[in-house]
Amino acid sequence: SANPLSTTPPRGPSDSETFTVHGYVRSVRKQKRIAFAVIGDGSTLQTVQAVLSPQLAEDLSTGAAVTVTGKWKPSPGGKQSHELQVEDIRVLGANDAATSPIQKKYQSAEYLRTIPHLRPRLPLNALLLRLRSLVTAQVTSYFAKNDFIQCHPPIITSSDCEGAGEVFTIEPATAEATSGPIPGLSDQPKKLPEPFFGSPKYLTVSSQLHLEALAQSVDKVWTLSPTFRAEKSDTARHLSEFYMLEAEVAFVDDLKDVMDVVENMLRSVATELQASRVGQELLEARARDQSEEGTSVSHDALAQRWQGLIDGPWPRIKYAEAIQHLKDATTQGKAQFEFSPEHEDGLQTEHERYLAEHFGKRGPIFVTDYPRQMKPFYMLPSSPSGSDTVACFDLLVPEICELVGGSMREHRHPELQQSMVDHGLRLASDSSTEASGGSMQWYLDLRRYGSVPHGGFGLGFDRLICYLSGVQNIRDVVAFPRYYKKALS
């Protein structure tokens, strides 16, 4: 029968209808003649008030998992229109409320990060899981409608795509390396006589290079894949393991076309979110207590943030203009920076934040054409005949700063080879590395066998979830966050 916690209609049972609800006791109030329990199941912020006899409520405590059956009756109390008059209740799993790490009082975001296995039981953390699922569904739908092929590039790779030296190396576990037994494993692992893959392998820092190979086979591709960076950055925006949404488009020769994909895709996500129940609940939650997962974004600011993604077009300015704008803001006394903006120093986070929050309408802004030496080897120069800047963009948004990075790719063989040399990359002169897959010869090969102009981008998916939810710390939007010195459960 209908259930008020169900996410699909018909949601509300009719008067006096009997129905069963499964969930967790959010709170329980026991009086002499009557008891009240609030039941929620995490699939919605909605709860059901269950009214029961003191005998039926005897074993109930906050946090217990229950199945409750009763009649749906108009509620005399003002808070809810109906309540469940309980006829039968079964405790599926009792909760040791006294020792439970989850308590019905204010618990800081930092504390909750120490119990990632229990944190999703909190209604707002459950809501974030649903937001992630909705956004995943919407990007999947957007790409499918626009003829992008979803691909599964490898996680184990042979190179550092970004050349930032932040890769994790992988090797089978050995007794020596793990210095003790692996949890869950009964036997000590034995040392292998030689490297497992024959040459060093790494966890991927970006699927871009593999996507380039696939785009030049089926035109437009995308993936939402785990990505790993051994960055020691102890910030609210960096994780060691995160999801990156990447797309690559063949047969384009204008960076504008790549930025259009980003803009249209994010617009479709915000439009869907605005119309969804998850969106409604996020706004509701903003209007209520905001302490649970650390956010300062108000109801109105969050609604405006989504609208800002829907409204367009977003400003697109060149890096040189951005620097000039920041310099002007400084001399006019409109802005104060710790690092003064200089062309050769790049954009600091504080500069990115200023641009997103003060240039245009406090929303997304594309900054394009960065100096060549600040960017990785694979980027195409802004002008094909050569230039000091590359055809690239960063998409900046308020608070989060960099959300997306993308570029046209160098598709010409000699120029790519030269750029690799200029960036100090080891080329495939050593045939033994080449044979074992330890070189980037395959990537150069793509330019030799039917190369086409192409471009693409990578979006920090967890940062997007922060932006859409108003949650400030990336560690709170990921169920099991991994970051420097921390990877619990």
Could you say which DSSP state residue 377 is in? T
Site string for ligand 4AD, 152-171 (x = CB under 6 A): ---------xx---------
Q: Compute the least distance from the CB of residue 375 to ligand 4AD, in Å.
A: 9
Q: Using the CB atoms, write b or e for 96-122: b if 16+ within 10 Å.
A: ebeeeebeeeebebeebbebbeebbbb
Contact 380, 411 (CB under 8 A): yes
The 3-state DSSP class for residue 123 equals helix
Could you say which DSSP state residue 184 is in? T
* Shorter beta-carbon distance to ligand 4AD: residue 279 or 456: 456
Under rule CB under 6 A, residue 239 binds ligand 4AD: yes
Q: Residues in contact with ligand 4AD, total (CB under 6 A)? A: 22
Under rule CB under 6 A, residue 471 binds ligand 4AD: no
Give dist(CA 93, CA 23) in Å, integer: 11
Token pair for 84? 């469940």
* Shorter beta-carbon distance to ligand 4AD: residue 49 or 240: 240
Give dist(CA 8, CA 325) in Å, integer: 50
Determine the residue with CB nearest Mg ion: 405
The 3-state DSSP class for residue 204 equals coil
* Footprint of ligand 4AD on 241-270 (CB under 6 A): 242, 244, 246
Q: Compute the least distance from the CB of residue 141 to ligand 4AD, in Å.
A: 21
242 is in the binding site of which of Mg ion, ligand 4AD, none (Cβ under 5 to 8 A by kind)? ligand 4AD
Q: Which residues, including other chains, have CB under 8 Å from residue 373's CB and lie 6 or more apart?
A: none
Token pair for 406? 């993308």
Give the amino acid at 308. G
Contact 198, 239 (CB under 8 A): no
Q: Compute the least distance from the CB of residue 256 to ligand 4AD, in Å.
A: 16
Q: How far is CA 185 from CA 188, 196, 330, 488, in A?
A: 7, 20, 59, 18
* Among 23, 456, 470, 481, contact with ligand 4AD (rule: CB under 6 A): 456
Q: Which residue, among 317, 447, 460, has the nearest Cα to 378 in the 3D structure?
A: 447
Query: How many Cβ atoms sit within 10 Å of the Cβ of residue 401?
Result: 22
244 is in the binding site of which of ligand 4AD, Mg ion, none (Cβ under 5 to 8 A by kind)? ligand 4AD
Under rule CB under 6 A, residue 473 binds ligand 4AD: no
* Among 121, 454, 463, 475, contact with ligand 4AD (rule: CB under 6 A): 463
* Among 119, 238, 351, 475, contact with ligand 4AD (rule: CB under 6 A): 238
* Shorter beta-carbon distance to Mg ion: residue 124 or 167: 167
Q: Compute the least distance from the CB of residue 269 to ligand 4AD, in Å.
A: 15
Give the amino acid at 57. A
Token pair for 335? 């802005």
Under rule CB under 6 A, residue 406 binds ligand 4AD: yes
* Among 64, 404, 465, 466, contact with ligand 4AD (rule: CB under 6 A): 404
Give me the residues that bind Mg ion (CB under 5 A), please: 405
* Alpha carbon of residue 385 to chain centroid: 38
* Shorter beta-carbon distance to ligand 4AD: residue 14 or 150: 150
Give the amino acid at 258. V
Under rule CB under 6 A, residue 353 binds ligand 4AD: no
419 is in the binding site of which of Mg ion, ligand 4AD, none (Cβ under 5 to 8 A by kind)? none
Under rule CB under 6 A, residue 364 binds ligand 4AD: no
Q: Compute the least distance from the CB of residue 228 to ligand 4AD, in Å.
A: 9
Q: Compute the least distance from the CB of residue 286 to ligand 4AD, in Å.
A: 23
Q: Compute the least distance from the CB of residue 207 to Mg ion, in Å.
A: 14
Under rule CB under 6 A, residue 216 binds ligand 4AD: no
* Shorter beta-carbon distance to Mg ion: residue 405 or 481: 405
Which residue's structure tokens are 């109930």?
60
Q: Compute the least distance from the CB of residue 227 to ligand 4AD, in Å.
A: 7
* Shorter beta-carbon distance to ligand 4AD: residue 105 or 485: 485
Q: Which residue, among 397, 135, 347, has the nearest Cα to 245 in the 3D structure?
A: 135
Beta strand 169-170 pairing with 201-203: antiparallel
Question: Which span sits near ligand 4AD by CB under 6 A: 63-71, 107-115, 401-409, 422-430?
Answer: 401-409
Give dist(CA 183, CA 180) in Å, integer: 9
* Shorter beta-carbon distance to ligand 4AD: residue 201 or 229: 229
Q: Which residues, including other chains, have CB under 8 Å from residue 107's CB and lie 6 or more apart?
A: none
Under rule CB under 6 A, residue 457 binds ligand 4AD: yes
Query: How many Cβ atoms sit within 10 Å of the Cβ of residue 284?
Result: 13
* Alpha carbon of residue 240 to chain centroid: 12
* Footprint of ligand 4AD on 25-84 (CB under 6 A): none
Beta strand 48-52 pairing with 82-93: parallel
Q: Compute the least distance from the CB of residue 153 to ligand 4AD, in Å.
A: 10
Instruction: Name the residues that contact ligand 4AD, by CB under 6 A.
Output: 161-162, 206, 208, 229, 231, 238-239, 242, 244, 246, 402-406, 456-458, 460, 462-463
